[in-house]
A and B are shown apart, each in its own frame.
Chain A
Amino acid sequence: MAAIEAAVAQVSRVEEEAEFTELFAQYRLRAYHYALQMLGNPDDALEVTQEAFLRLHRHWRRRDSTRPFAPWMYSVVRNLAIDLLRKRASRRECEIEAAPEAAPVASPEQDAERRQFSERLWREIARLPEAQREVLLLRDWHGLSYAEIAEATGASLTTVNSRLHDARSRLRERLRRYL
């Protein structure tokens, strides 16, 4: 009896593992890029990505499967990145500011003008207050809905809405003549 139960449990475990592996393949780059945008350093971003997926994996079998994966994943990455930023600040290892290292890489499809604008845009995004920057990136770069952003960041829908409005107003002000 116990052996049969254990075998059944093992089969369902294998299925769940396959599901998780698929989600990892689907979301790993998003997790990495979000961490990179928050931390500005590729090594730190990789470290946070790894820790985030190990953590998601550990809680995978006890998850609430009715809720979508993306906001959960983003919130885990976010919390780990914030911990790291805090730790860095307390160690005074480097300044907390969206590091320019994370900034646009040259992409072959972009012409020079486009690339220049990308860099300018990123510099302005990096200068936004952290709360506004994260909401803007989650919406405009990662394509999350307001509800998903609210869940990932723990903010209310109203807050998400007004932070986005503020972020966009500021960017318009700073970039108007280039638009």
Chain B
Amino acid sequence: MKAADSHEAMERMLSAYLDEELTQAEAQRVELHLQECASCRTALDEMRRIQQLTAQIPFHQPPDAALEAIEQRLSVQAPRRGGWALLVIGIAAWIVYGLVQVLRHPRWPTVPELIAAAVVIGLLLLFVSVLRQRLLERPHDRYRRVKR
């Protein structure tokens, strides 16, 4: 370790010293310097005071109802996503199953099979249209404001 660290170098480390973000060796160097430098002691005290007072600045609290509304939206988002996932998996499974059946036993489909196919295709179309709408709305929706 060098004999004397410069005041300038030590002064620049005070802020990190205050936050206990220095290595042990660095902190020791700062402490040695603090013992003999009144100006750095004052600086450290002032920074500490600013830190404590900043932590105590009180800010406006949001209304509980507003936070609850956010929670509400979060809980709506969850099952909906689960529902979409199941729907996509279900549709994919139906399509694969149908294709396999047709390839293995080529024949005219029965009435129930035709109905099932109609349902699957219908869901697929709905899904695609919702997806498209979501993508189109995205840039506008993102910054939509609550009020004003």
Q: A6-B86, A136-B54, A172-B43 are in contact. Are A105 and B74 (CB under 8 A)?
A: no
Q: CB-CB < 8 A to B93: which residues of A?
A: 2
Give the distance to chain B from A33, nearest Cβ to Cβ, in Å: 5
Q: Is B128 an interface residue (CB 8 A)?
A: no
Which listed segment binds A: B29-37, B101-109, B139-147?
B139-147
A171 to B59, CA, bound (A): 20
Q: Tell me the A41-73 residues at the B interface (CB within 8 Å).
A: 42-47, 49-51, 53-54, 57-58
The docked-state distance in angstroms from the alpha carbon of A106 to that of B58 is 7
Please, which residues of chain A bring their CB within 8 A of the CB of B19? 139, 145-146, 164
Q: State A33–B58 Cα separation when bound (angstroms).
A: 10
Q: What are the residues of chain B within 8 A of A46 when measuring CB–CB?
A: 62, 66, 70, 146
In terms of DSSP, what is the predominant structure of the interface of chain A?
helix
| CB neighbors of A among B36-85 (8 A) | 43, 46-47, 49-51, 53-62, 66-67, 69-71, 73-75, 77-78, 81-82
Dominant SS among interface residues on chain B: helix
Q: Is B148 at the interface (CB under 8 A from chain A)?
A: yes
B5 located at the interface, meaning its Cβ lies under 8 Å from any Cβ of chain A in the complex: no
Q: Which of A69-103 contact B (CB under 8 A)?
A: 83-84, 87, 102
B21 at the interface (CB under 8 A from A): yes
Given contacts A49-B70, A121-B54, A161-B21, contact A104 B59 (CB under 8 A): yes
Q: Which residues of A contact B14 (CB under 8 A)?
A: 165
Cβ contact within 8 Å between A172 and B71: no
Chain B residues lying within 8 Å of A102, measured Cβ to Cβ, are: 59-60
A95 CA to B70 CA, complexed, in Å: 28
Contact among B53, B55, B77, B146 with A43 in the assembled complex (CB-CB below 8 Å): B146
Whether, in the assembled complex, A130 has its beta carbon less than 8 Å from a beta carbon of chain B, the answer is: no
The residue in chain B whose Cβ has the minimal distance to the Cβ of A119 is: B57
Q: What is the CA–CA distance of A108 and B52 in the complex, to the nearest angstrom?
A: 18
Provide 11 A-B residue pairs closer than 8 Å at the C-beta atoms, listed in order of the A residue: A2-B93, A13-B82, A24-B70, A44-B145, A46-B66, A57-B78, A121-B57, A146-B16, A165-B14, A168-B47, A179-B46
Question: What is the interface of chain B, defined by CB distance below 8 A to chain A?
Answer: 12, 14-16, 19, 21, 43, 46-47, 49-51, 53-62, 66-67, 69-71, 73-75, 77-78, 81-82, 86, 89, 93, 142-148
> Residues of A at under 8 Å CB distance from B?
2, 6, 10, 13, 17, 20-21, 24, 28-29, 32-33, 36-37, 42-47, 49-51, 53-54, 57-58, 83-84, 87, 102, 104-107, 110, 117-118, 121-122, 125, 136-137, 139-141, 143, 145-146, 161-162, 164-165, 168, 171-172, 175-176, 179
